[in-house]
């Protein structure tokens, strides 16, 4: 029994190591072709060629991704996408109920839900023995934008007045929800013996975005409900208009990432 368990553990370890990286002797992406790194965060290739406007989408379920290439060739508009996923907008609050019962106040609108935070940009580690850029390479590991908060629901209208009682007041508008925070930008680190040459390519042939994500905006407060009116056309017996709900707070922008060079 013990022997069977050890065999199963050994087979599992081998399978785990085999799935830990995606391995190619040669990977050539045609113009506008998209290659998505799935099931792993490591791409190992002897010769990587990205033709015009081809794209590599990194594994966004992993905080760090790695590309190892003995030879990397980038043509015009080659793009590596490690940008953080944007947040999801908050839902709007439900409006308050408008009443028909005489002299009864309308119901307040409900608060919207907060926008979610943008995801952080990925950190990308690039290992190149030889790199050639006859075109241009764009790398984006910016943080995802925070989402806007939902709007507050409008207040419900008040019921009508009578000769004996004042009209109902309108319900208050619901509060606007807060916006989400922007994700932090990821880091890009180059490992190569050609670091001095890579530095000269930066912003000339290699363009890298490590910006923090934009903050989400707070949702608007809901409008106040209308007032119930007196049937006697006496404004003193009319209800009061509901108050507008407060606007939600905006989130915080994400922090920028960094670009690093290591010639070891």
pLDDT tens, position by position, for the chain (264 residues)? 444 333 333 433 333 344 478 999 999 999 999 999 998 999 999 999 999 999 999 999 999 999 999 999 999 999 999 999 999 999 999 999 999 999 999 999 999 999 999 999 999 999 999 999 999 999 999 999 999 999 999 999 999 999 889 999 999 999 999 999 999 999 999 999 888 889 999 999 999 999 999 999 999 999 999 999 988 778 888 899 999 999 999 999 999 999 999 875
User: E-strand spans in 64-213?
Assistant: 64-74, 78-81, 123-132, 137-140, 188-191, 206-209
The rounded distance, in Å, linking the Cα atoms of 169 and 102 is 11
Instruction: Count CB atoms within 10 A of the CB of residue 137.
Output: 22
pLDDT at 2: 40
Residue indicated by tokens 């023995």: 129
Query: Model's pTM, two decimal places?
Result: 0.84
| Cα angle: 127, vertex 129, 132; to 5 degrees | 100
Q: Which helix (H) or strand (E) holds 260?
A: strand 259-262
pLDDT at 264: 58
């Amino acid at each position: 029994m013990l022997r069977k368990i050890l065999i199963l553990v050994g087979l599992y370890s081998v399978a785990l190591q085999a799935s830990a990286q995606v391995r190619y002797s040669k990977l050539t992406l045609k113009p506008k072709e998209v290659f998505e790194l799935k099931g792993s965060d490591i791409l190992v290739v002897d010769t990587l060629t990205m033709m015009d406007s081809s794209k590599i989408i990194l594994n966004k379920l992993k905080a760090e991704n790695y590309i190892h290439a003995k030879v990397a060739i980038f043509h015009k508009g080659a793009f590596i996408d490690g940008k953080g996923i944007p947040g999801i907008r908050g839902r709007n609050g439900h409006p308050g109920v408008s009443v028909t019962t005489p002299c009864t106040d309308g119901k307040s609108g409900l608060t919207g839900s907060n926008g979610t935070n943008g995801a952080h940009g990925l950190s990308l580690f690039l290992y190149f023995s030889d790199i050639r850029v006859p075109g241009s390479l764009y790398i984006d590991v910016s943080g995802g934008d925070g989402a806007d908060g939902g709007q507050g629901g409008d207040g419900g209208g008040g019921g009508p007045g009578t000769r004996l009682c004042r009209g109902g007041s309108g319900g208050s508008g619901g509060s606007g929800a807060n916006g989400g925070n922007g994700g932090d930008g990821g880091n890009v680190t180059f490992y190569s013996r050609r670091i001095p040459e890579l530095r000269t390519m930066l912003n000339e042939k290699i363009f890298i975005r490590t910006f923090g994500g934009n903050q989400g905006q707070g949702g608007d407060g809901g409008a106040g409900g209308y007032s119930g009116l007196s049937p006697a056309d006496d404004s003193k017996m009319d209800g009061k208009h509901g108050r507008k709900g407060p606007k939600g707070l905006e989130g915080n922008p994400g922090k920028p990432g960094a670009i690093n060079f290591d010639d070891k």
